[in-house]
Amino acid sequence: MMGKDDKVYLGVKEIAKRAKVSIATVDRVLHNRTGVSEKTRKKINDIIAEIDYRPNILASRLASRKAIQMAVLVPHTSIDTSFWEAPLQGIQRAAKELESYGIRLVYYFFDLNDRHSFTAQASKLLTTELDGLLMSPTFVDESIALTSRCDELKIPYVFIDADLSTSQKISYIGPHLFQSGYVGAKLLTYRAVSPFTVLVVNISKEIENNNHLTIEAGFRSYFKEKELQNRLVTIDIRDTDNLSVARHLTEALHNHPHVEGVFVTNSRVSSVATFLTKLNRPEIRLIGYDFLQENCQFLDQGVIDFLICHKPEEQGYRGVMTLYQYLVVDTTVEKMQYMPIDIVTMENRSFYQN
């Protein structure tokens, strides 16, 4: 008898050899078919338990020719931000690797600035036969409604970029938002000699999810923990075009003339950089998110001091692979898969990969 620590994963041939029966007989027992005596069935099951045999689920899927269909529900890129190009590249890379295994992805894209488009796409995907869903829960209430329906239909789902803590998700893949904001505050105040006013800027037509709130909570926590006396002023800008951003920032700088730092809670930091460049205010420190071409342009110019990045392409890739592991390989997946909090500067950005 094998000890607990000596168990190995052996195949059907080995089971048949030990039981002195044919492979077909073992297959009947594994699939609970008739035509096997109770004595032989017990003998085979005892051997299965002894060697800790686990069937190759992927091979079974391939043999049955049953395709696995996953839905992908993410924002499409917009003129405001190209952020979602990177997760989509990761998703497509995973899809290419898995296509020979009968894994099929169906894409549903919604407008980041329009919650109604999210609802429409969510309703559309629920009319199809799905084995799993990869999604960004951008709009909270609408995402709760969708995931509740998925729970009823027993459709497993994985989140990327944003999380809903109340859901029955298989996994969340994305940044630890609180810690990310905390890092942002540390970067903005590093070696500062005296307190200065800081603008915390969220630029979003819809206040999409709680990401910016959690990031800001982490940002403010640093100041509180370190007992820093900086004045923090939050600005929510709902119109995302550069003209509207400039109007709001002009008003903020008029009301708070001693601003020396700006922290942007999402990827639209280039809008602020555009404004500061035109205003000729190079002394204002600027930090924001995401390794986008429009952001890197201002990073190279020294207008943006730091970009905080969470490997969005890897999020998309890992999201598909996590569903695959859960649905096909039948392995346990991590509930929370936090991505690195990377700091990109003018000096190291040429070596960075999303």
| CA distance linking residue 152 with residue 165, whole number of Å | 18
Residues 210 and 169 in one domain: no
| CA distance linking residue 177 with residue 183, whole number of Å | 10
- The size of the chain, in residues, is 354
Residues 316 and 302 in one domain: no
Residues 49 and 144 in one domain: no
Burial of 219 (0-12, 13-18, 19+ CB in 10 A): buried
Residues 130 and 191 in one domain: no
**DSSP string covering 193-212:** SS--EEEEEEE-SS--SSHH
Tell me the CATH number at 226. Answer: 3.40.50.2300
Give the pTM. Answer: 0.80
In a domain, 130, yes or no: yes
Residues 145 and 227 in one domain: no
Count up the domains in the chain and report the number: 3
In a domain, 74, yes or no: yes
Residues 248 and 127 in one domain: no
* pLDDT value of residue 165: 84
Residues 208 and 256 in one domain: yes
Domain range for 267 is: 177-309
In a domain, 62, yes or no: no
In a domain, 61, yes or no: no
* pLDDT value of residue 4: 38
**C-alpha pair distances (Å), 4 with each of 1, 42, 282:** 9, 21, 66
Q: What is the mean pLDDT of each run of 10 residues along the chain (354 residues)?
A: 40 83 82 82 86 62 69 88 93 92 93 92 96 95 95 96 90 97 97 92 74 94 96 93 94 95 96 96 96 96 97 97 88 92 97 91
Residues 46 and 77 in one domain: no
Residues 193 and 280 in one domain: yes
Residues 100 and 11 in one domain: no
Q: What's the token pair of residue 344?
A: 């990109």
Residues 294 and 203 in one domain: yes
* pLDDT value of residue 248: 96
* pLDDT value of residue 176: 97
| CA distance linking residue 90 with residue 321, whole number of Å | 10
* pLDDT value of residue 119: 97
According to DSSP, residue 155 is labeled -
In a domain, 82, yes or no: yes
* pLDDT value of residue 345: 97
**C-alpha pair distances (Å), 246 with each of 249, 279, 285, 333:** 5, 10, 17, 45
In a domain, 95, yes or no: yes
* pLDDT value of residue 290: 97
Q: What's the token pair of residue 317?
A: 């890739």
Residues 318 and 170 in one domain: yes
Q: E strands of 268-341, at which residues?
A: 285-289, 306-309, 336-338
In a domain, 60, yes or no: no
When computed from its CA atoms, the radius of gyration of the chain, rounded to whole angstroms, is 26
In a domain, 40, yes or no: yes
* pLDDT value of residue 2: 41
According to DSSP, residue 100 is labeled G
Q: What's the token pair of residue 306?
A: 């730091």
Tell me the CATH number at 32. Answer: 1.10.260.40
Q: E strands of the chain, at which residues?
A: 68-75, 103-110, 132-135, 157-160, 171-174, 197-203, 232-237, 259-264, 285-289, 306-309, 336-338, 342-344
Amino acid, res. 163: D
